Amino acid sequence: MHRTYTTQIDAARKGIFTPQMEQVLAEETISRQDLMERVARGHIAIPANKNHLNLMAAGVGQGLRTKINVNLGVSRDVCSFDAEMNKAKLALQYKADAVMDLSVSGDTEAFRKRLVAEVPVMIGTVPVYDTLTRTGKPTEEITLDDWFETVEIHADNGIDFITIHAGLNRKCAHSIQVNPRLCGIVSRGGAILFEWMAKTGNENPFYEHFDRLLDICEARDVCISLGDGLRPGAIKDASDAPQIEELITLGELTRQAWQKNVQVIIEGPGHVPLHEVEMNVRLQKKLCHNAPFYVLGPLVTDIAPGYDHITSAIGGALAAMHGADFLCYVTPAEHLRLPTAEDVKEGIMASRIAAHAGDLAKGLTGAMDPDHRMSRARQSLDWESQFECAIDPEKARAFRQSSQPSDQDVCTMCGDFCAVKRVRDLGKDRESQSAGFSG
């Protein structure tokens, strides 16, 4: 008998292995049984909107490769949807796992539809931004229906996961007022909802009417990425009372979503000093019942504008090692400007390296295989194989070609002092090697 399901988590609970689960299984080393059980429990999410017809589904969560997301989108000052589409193509070229459209100007719906039609990886958005853009209203004039109509539009457009800052309720808003911060609220979505609550006197619409949100998401199988509206934007603000209070609320909302067969990802900080990264990951996993964890960075210092892809990669690698499942990339342009195409590439590569380093540390099955291939190529001084193994073959090859050695076996760093070549050449003369170390 044909069995139906509404969402990926509903299918897993009914013992139905969906086509999207098959796609995830083909790209991971997890067993079929473990995948289905973890999707059923909510420990793995497979964002896969029913209207995203060309999607090649990916899983986010326990036992899977750490995924990375690329943010893009236009602003009022830099408003070229073609340029942002080129960034989406770069994301595909450099093997990002997801794209989020954060556009806040222009014909956002047309661009979303184009993304969904042309981009086969999972796509996310932040409907709160788009509500202001779509309606053109001042924040305090946004109605309850305005907020939810935007969510429905994004769901109908085929968006796979939506960031919703439902945890920033009035209680959490009070917490940030009585626990002063150096940088206050740095989440755009969080700031918009905080302003709306302050000016209208109302509760957060997505918290108060969370069931309405769940009904929309269940109907299209949209994964909710529960946003951290109170994430720290400064090292000093990390792990403070408002952040943790919101996280507790996100854990409560997670259970509600799972009861309605809606998949959940939890978003996390933010700016976090190195020694607090592990604690933040473990606390999220505890309070949010092992739901997949999606972190922005975290950035481990505040003083590196122009290099924040590096500060983010340091924190991201550590977070992934301790159980974070999804890294939102950060580019060198963070805190400074809308990123260029080159910034996007740098951010992707830094995040991919961080994610892979985390997978190595976690002991993920098969994670070390490409490193072993690279090491064998280096040991044999096989330069073409080294390029093929590199995370960015184009850049590695360009560096090599820009400084050619007289002896093509080596590079211009070591030349005749190349340790690998010396030991290799010594090994070719087995008799002399044996004589040299005999007796």
Q: How far apart are CA 76 and CA 104, in angstroms?
A: 7
SS3 187: coil
Q: Is the dihedral of CA 381, 383, 386, 392 positive or negative?
A: positive
Q: Is 52 annotated as a binding residue?
A: no
Q: Is 183 annotated as a binding residue?
A: no
Give the burial string for 159-174 (b: 16+ CB within 10 Å, else e): bbbbbbbbbbbbebbe
Residue of 223, 235, 311 lying closest to 266 (CA atoms)? 223
Q: Is 358 annotated as a binding residue?
A: no
Q: How far apart are CA 36 and CA 40, in angstroms?
A: 6
Q: Is 411 annotated as a binding residue?
A: yes
For residue 185, which phi and psi values (nearest 5 degrees)? Answer: -95, 125
Q: Is the dihedral of CA 195, 198, 199, 202 positive or negative?
A: positive
Q: Which residue has the tokens 């086969």?
A: 120
Q: Which residue has the tokens 């403070």?
A: 240
Q: Is 271 annotated as a binding residue?
A: yes
Q: Is 418 annotated as a binding residue?
A: yes
SS3 223: strand
Q: Is 280 annotated as a binding residue?
A: no
Q: Is 79 annotated as a binding residue?
A: no
367-375 contacts, C-beta under 8 A, 24 or more apart: 367/65
With contact defined as beta carbons under 8 Å apart, do 310 and 350 qualify?
A: yes
Residue of 411, 370, 365, 410 lying closest to 389 (CA atoms)? 370
Q: How far apart are CA 323 and CA 63, in angstroms?
A: 9
Q: Is 229 annotated as a binding residue?
A: yes
Using N-to-C axis directions, what is the helix angle for 108-118 and 81-93, rounded to 10°? 30
Annotated binding site for Zn(2+): 271, 335
Annotated binding site for [4Fe-4S] cluster: 411, 414, 418
Annotated binding site: 71, 100, 129, 165, 187-189, 228-231, 267, 271, 294, 335, 411, 414, 418
Annotated binding site for substrate: 71, 100, 129, 165, 187-189, 228-231, 267, 294
